[in-house]
């Protein structure tokens, strides 16, 4: 067996820090090399900030875990320089079918909007996802970027002072101490860093178990997401079938609360279950089997002085809706440019509090959506089950009931409405979807796409409007991207950014969220918006 998740990709190696007389100090230490920690490190290193990643393991995720990645995280990966290999390897899907009892009640097409570089979703095993991130980190390292990955390094204590954080790290050669100006804790749902700091992680536990099996099979099933409510092969429960690359199929079977997990996980119990679903003659091999329960919860605050929590360490959702890794990537997307400005001394530390404001808003939206899906899949009371079944019965015949069927609301990025960083929304007739706080919608431009042209810093997007080539406010510059609506004959650019306005000037943050917008160039207003978007006003 030589699965990628069995190979140590960043094995332990002794480093000079372990022999130093006084603890060595780094700009940023990221704890955890899961998808979120790796994305954070790449983002910072790409911008030239020194970063060390510590992980007690040395391999990518065991088993596939997260499989669905949504459009926005793929766009973030493009910015991080590793979108292409993921999308090339991933399975693109857009059709889903819903079954109830013995019948198919309806099918749907995600009907992704035209004119975006990235699809609505890809399916990809988490181990491949992490492998490509490790590859990107290694490539940056080879180019001389200040990034270092240390496997076999387990953080065992955290001590915070006003000017930095001290970490004790256990290794196969014994412990050492290391310092950091900033720590990003991406050490997963069980976050030892969170526990060591004595911080709460409260929320709701769902009394349910799910058997997850990744099977390798040559199957004639189409590349679709199939979801069953109360099927004959898993009475009273739900089931999911989803395709991954390399002929790996994700099967998720709800088991209920009172089960013996160890028993259920045994192949002699798993295989008959799968056969009753896939047919007696189905030929398959088990790649990974696991039983999980889940919770929806978050930390009260994600910033604790110089320690910033991101990903599952900060918030946890049920898997319905694929919001775990997807939202974790949006955390680091939000955090890293802010931290970069603070490290450079161009923005005050208080800018990091906006990470709390914005990503707690995101986490709450994700928790709300995944809680609702879970309640639909596992109704909490007899009455809610009656309504759930009524929705399913009606959905077979009447279109109105279909939007009520909730087997997971697929992850979309949140709009930072009400964020303290948002500036003026002065564009009369401007579309709602690109209001301040919103993630920039992509649009086709000649033979490329808008998001690829925004760059990694603040951008001044002008569409049929005059402006200087760049604008600077106290050391922070925004570079102009000058477009005309006629560059996109499909009309998407105008529809997504102009609405009924003849021209527009947008100030766009490094994470590609809109900061402010105007009908035309206004020097003082744009500078004021930069001050605001960087926490200086």
Partner 1 sequence: MADLNTAPAIDAPDDLYAELLAMHEGLSKEESDAANARLILILMNQIADREVLRQAMAAARAPGAETV
Ligand X SMILES: Cc1cc2nc3c(=O)[nH]c(=O)nc-3n(C[C@H](O)[C@H](O)[C@H](O)COP(=O)(O)OP(=O)(O)OC[C@H]3O[C@@H](n4cnc5c(N)ncnc54)[C@H](O)[C@@H]3O)c2cc1C
Q: Which residues bind ligand X (CB under 6 A)?
A: 31-37, 54-57, 61, 65-68, 126, 154-155, 186-188, 192, 212, 292, 311-313, 319, 322-326, 328
398 binds, among partner 1, ligand X, none (CB under 5 to 8 A by kind): partner 1
Q: What is the DSSP letter of 134?
A: H
What does the block give as tokens for 453?
């042209």
Tell the smallest beta-carbon distance from residue 422 to partner 1 (Å): 22
What does the block give as tokens for 232?
């004959």
Cα dist from 468 to 465, 479, 480, 506, whole Å: 10, 9, 7, 13
Pick from 445, 413, 444: which is nearest to 514 by CA? 413
375 binds, among ligand X, partner 1, none (CB under 5 to 8 A by kind): partner 1
d(CA 361, CA 512): 17
Q: What is the DSSP letter of 401?
A: G
Tell me whether strands 307-309 and 176-185 are parallel, antiparallel or unpaired: parallel
Tell the smallest beta-carbon distance from residue 409 to partner 1 (Å): 7
- The H-or-E segment that residue 338 falls in is helix 324-344
Nearer to ligand X, 73 or 535 (CB): 73
Tell the smallest beta-carbon distance from residue 476 to partner 1 (Å): 37
423 binds, among ligand X, partner 1, none (CB under 5 to 8 A by kind): none
Tell the smallest beta-carbon distance from residue 2 to ligand X (Å): 20
257 binds, among partner 1, ligand X, none (CB under 5 to 8 A by kind): none
404 binds, among ligand X, partner 1, none (CB under 5 to 8 A by kind): partner 1
Give the contacts of 527 (CB within 8 A, at least 6 positions apart). Answer: 471, 473
d(CA 76, CA 79): 5
Tell the smallest beta-carbon distance from residue 191 to ligand X (Å): 7
Give the contacts of 201 (CB within 8 A, at least 6 positions apart). Answer: 191, 194, 297, 298, 299, 316
Nearer to partner 1, 107 or 452 (CB): 107
Nearer to ligand X, 326 or 462 (CB): 326
Nearer to ligand X, 33 or 501 (CB): 33
Give the contacts of 74 (CB within 8 A, at least 6 positions apart). Answer: 83, 86, 87, 118, 119, 122
400 binds, among partner 1, ligand X, none (CB under 5 to 8 A by kind): partner 1
Binding residues vs partner 1 (CB under 8 A) = 369, 372, 375, 381-384, 387, 391, 393-394, 396-400, 402-404, 406, 409
425 binds, among partner 1, ligand X, none (CB under 5 to 8 A by kind): none
Tell the smallest beta-carbon distance from residue 6 to partner 1 (Å): 41
Tell the smallest beta-carbon distance from residue 375 to partner 1 (Å): 7
**Per DSSP, what are the bridge partners of residue 289?**
213
Tell the smallest beta-carbon distance from residue 337 to partner 1 (Å): 32
374 binds, among ligand X, partner 1, none (CB under 5 to 8 A by kind): none
Nearer to partner 1, 89 or 372 (CB): 372
Tell the smallest beta-carbon distance from residue 378 to partner 1 (Å): 13
Tell the smallest beta-carbon distance from residue 101 to partner 1 (Å): 13
Using an 8 Å Cβ cutoff, are 316 and 298 in contact?
yes
Nearer to partner 1, 310 or 392 (CB): 392
Nearer to ligand X, 328 or 535 (CB): 328
Pick from 122, 59, 40: which is nearest to 329 by CA? 40
Nearer to ligand X, 318 or 419 (CB): 318
Using an 8 Å Cβ cutoff, are 524 and 531 in contact?
no
* Helical spans, DSSP H, in 378-490: 382-395, 450-453
Cα 329 from chain centre: 4
What does the block give as tokens for 1?
């067996």
Q: What is the DSSP string of 297-308?
A: EE-S-SEETTEE
Cα dist from 91 to 37, 45, 88, 222, whole Å: 24, 29, 8, 11
The neighbour count for residue 379, using CB atoms within 10 Å, is: 15
Using an 8 Å Cβ cutoff, are 509 and 337 in contact?
yes
32 binds, among ligand X, partner 1, none (CB under 5 to 8 A by kind): ligand X
In degrees and rounded to multiples of 5, residue 57 shows phi and psi of -100, 180
Nearer to ligand X, 54 or 427 (CB): 54
Nearer to partner 1, 221 or 400 (CB): 400
369 binds, among ligand X, partner 1, none (CB under 5 to 8 A by kind): partner 1
């Amino acid at each position: 067996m030589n699965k990628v998740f069995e190979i140590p990709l960043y094995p332990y190696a002794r480093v000079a820090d372990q022999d130093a007389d006084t603890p060595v100090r780094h700009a940023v230490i990221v704890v955890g090399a899961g998808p979120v920690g790796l994305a954070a490190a790449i983002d910072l290193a790409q911008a030239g900030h020194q970063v060390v990643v510590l992980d007690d393991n040395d391999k990518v995720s065991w088993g596939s875990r997260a499989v669905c990645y949504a459009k926005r995280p793929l766009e973030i990966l493009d910015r991080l320089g590793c979108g292409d290999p993921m999308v090339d390897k991933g399975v693109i899907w857009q059709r889903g079918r819903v079954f109830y009892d013995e019948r198919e009640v309806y099918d749907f097409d995600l009907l992704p909007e035209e004119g975006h570089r990235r699809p609505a979703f890809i399916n990809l095993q988490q181990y491949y996802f992490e492998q490509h991130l490790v590859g990107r980190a290694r490539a940056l390292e080879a180019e001389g970027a200040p990034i270092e990955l240390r496997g076999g390094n387990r953080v065992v204590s955290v001590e915070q002072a006003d000017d930095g954080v001290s970490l004790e790290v256990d290794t196969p050669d014994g412990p050492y101490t290391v310092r950091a100006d900033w720590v990003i804790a991406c050490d997963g749902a069980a976050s030892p860093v969170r526990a060591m700091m004595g911080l709460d992680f409260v929320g709701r536990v769902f009394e349910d178990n799910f058997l997850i099996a990744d099977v390798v099979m040559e199957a004639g099933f189409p590349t679709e997401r199939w979801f069953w409510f109360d099927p004959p092969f898993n009475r009273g429960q739900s089931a999911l079938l989803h395709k991954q690359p390399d002929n790996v199929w994700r099967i998720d079977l709800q088991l209920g609360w009172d089960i013996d997990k160890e028993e259920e996980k045994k192949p002699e119990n798993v295989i008959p279950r799968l056969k009753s679903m896939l047919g007696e003659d189905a030929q398959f091999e088990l790649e990974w089997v696991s039983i999980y329960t889940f919770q929806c919860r978050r930390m009260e605050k994600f910033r604790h002085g110089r320690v910033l929590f991101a990903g599952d360490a900060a918030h946890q959702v049920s898997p319905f809706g694929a919001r775990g890794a997807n939202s974790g990537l949006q955390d680091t997307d939000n955090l890293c440019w802010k931290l970069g400005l603070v490290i450079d001394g161009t923005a005050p530390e208080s800018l990091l509090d906006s990470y709390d404001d914005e990503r707690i808003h995101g986490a709450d939206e994700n928790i709300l959506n995944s809680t609702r899906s879970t309640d639909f899949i596992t109704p909490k009371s007899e009455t809610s089950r009656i309504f759930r079944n009524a929705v399913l019965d009606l959905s077979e015949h009447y279109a109105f009931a279909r939007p009520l069927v909730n087997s997971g609301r697929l992850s979309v990025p949140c709009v930072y409405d009400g964020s303290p960083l948002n500036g003026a929304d002065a564009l009369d007739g401007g579309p709602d979807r690109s209001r301040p706080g919103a993630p920039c919608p992509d649009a086709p431009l000649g033979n490329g796409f808008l998001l690829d042209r925004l760059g990694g810093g603040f951008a001044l997007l002008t569409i049929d409007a005059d402006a200087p080539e760049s604008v600077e406010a106290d050391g922070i510059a925004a570079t102009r991207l000058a477009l005309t609506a006629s560059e996109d004959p499909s009309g998407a650019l105008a529809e997504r950014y102009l609405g009924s306005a003849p021209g527009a000037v947008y100030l766009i943050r490094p994470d590609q969220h809109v900061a402010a917008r105007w009908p035309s160039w206004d020097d003082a207003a744009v500078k004021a918006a930069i001050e605001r978007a960087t926490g200086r006003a």
